[in-house]
Amino acid sequence: MTDELIVRREGVAGYLTLNRPKAIHALTQGMDHAMTEALLAWRGDDAVHAVIIDHSEGRGFCSGGDINLLRNSALNDGGVSGLQFFYEEYQLNHLLMTYLKPVIAFMDGITMGGGVGISQPARFRVATENTRFAMPETGIGLFPDVGGGWHLSRLPGRMGQFLALTGTRLDGAECLWTGLATHYLPSDALAEAKARIEQGHEPGQVLAALSVTPPPARIEAHAAQIARHFASDRYEDILASLAADDSDWALKELATLRTKSPQTCKVALRQLHDSLECADFAENMAMEYRIAARVLTRPDFAEGVRALIVEKTNDPKWDPATPEEVSNDLIASIFAPLPADQEWKPL
C-alpha cells in the first residue's frame, strides 16, 4: 500500500481515495497497485457492497498518469519501465470495467488522462460544477489511452473523435450531456451521497435523489459542426473540412489541431475506428498496449512532454512534421501485433 492512496472501509462502502494533492492526484505505479489489490480483496467480500473512487483535498480528481516516469523511461531505458506502468494501469482499467459490484467515481475537479481511465469504467460517474474533463494526449505526442479508444468511440455524433483530436475540456454539464457522466450533483452534496451509500442505500437511487439540473451544455451548440467536420476517419479530410469553414469556431479548432502531433492524431482516429470492432474491453486494451509499446519511444512523446510540461516553451517539433508525412505504413506498424509473449493480458 502507499500513502498516495487512502484505502478504507466506511459502512458497506470501500473507498479508494487518491491522495497526491500537489500533483492533482496523478497516478503512480504504487497507486495503481494499491487500487488493484483493494479491488481484488473486496471482490469476494460480502461486507463491501460498493466501491467509491474519490480524491482528498485539492482542485482535481486526477490529472492523469505519471508523465515524468514515462518520459524518463522513453529517454533512458528504451521504454521498459514505462511499458510496465502501462501494462499494470491497463489491467486496473479492465478490472474496473468488469467489476461486478457498483463502482462510483466522483469526478469533482480536473479529470484527465489516467483519471478518465479510472472513472469511465465506473457504473456511476458523477460530475459537478467543478468538473473539467479532457483527454489532452495529442498535445504531448501520446494518444488517448487507458480505454479512451473504447469510451470515446462510443459517443454519438463523432464527439469522441473531436475530443480525442482537440483535447477540448468539458465542464460537468457537458459531461452529462455527452454521456461521459451519469449524474450531475452540486459539490456540496457529495458528502451526503457518500454517507447514504455507506449506509447501504442503492447508489443509483442515492445519486438520482441528489441530482440537480445542470446549466446548459455549451458544446451542444456546436454538435452539428462537430458531426460534420469530424465525420471522416482520415485526418486530412477533417483539416480540409475545417479550413473550408470561415466561422470563428472552425478557425479556432483548426488552429488547435495545428498544434497537435500529426502522428498522434492519425493514431487516435485509427484507434477509435478499430475499437468499435473490438469484441470486448480486453481486446481494446490489448490494442492500446500495442500502440503504447510503439508510441512511447517514438520522437513525439519525449518532445511533446519537453515542450508542454518540462520547459513549457509550447513549441514542439513534431516528427513527422505534417499529416501528409505520417505514412499509412507508419500507422500500421504502430498497430501491429507484438510478439506473443509481450502482448497485454487482463488479470
In a domain, 259, yes or no: yes
In a domain, 115, yes or no: yes
Burial label, 295 (beta-carbon count in 10 A; 0-12, 13-18, 19+): buried
CATH number of the domain that residue 213 is part of: 3.90.226.10
pLDDT tens-digit profile, the chain (347 residues): 579 999 999 999 999 999 999 999 999 999 999 999 999 999 999 999 999 999 998 789 999 998 888 999 999 999 999 999 999 999 999 999 999 999 999 999 999 999 999 999 999 999 999 999 999 999 999 999 999 999 999 999 999 999 999 999 999 999 999 999 999 999 999 999 999 999 999 999 999 999 999 999 999 999 999 999 999 999 999 999 999 999 999 999 999 999 999 999 999 999 999 999 999 999 999 999 999 999 999 999 999 999 999 999 999 999 999 999 999 999 999 999 999 999 999 99
CA 268 vs. chain centroid, Å, equals 13
In a domain, 232, yes or no: yes
Q: Please report the pLDDT score of residue 257 as a whole number.
A: 98
> How many domains does the chain fold into?
1
pTM: 0.97
In a domain, 347, yes or no: no
User: Which residues are catalytic, by number?
Assistant: 65, 114, 137, 145
How many CB atoms are closer than 10 A to CB 347?
A: 11
**Cell numbers that stand for 320 in this block:** 513527422
Range of the domain at 103: 5-342
In a domain, 227, yes or no: yes
Pairwise CA distance, residues 256 & 329, whole Å: 26
In a domain, 326, yes or no: yes
In a domain, 335, yes or no: yes
Q: Please report the pLDDT score of residue 264 as a whole number.
A: 97
Cell 459542426 sits at which residue? 225
In a domain, 204, yes or no: yes
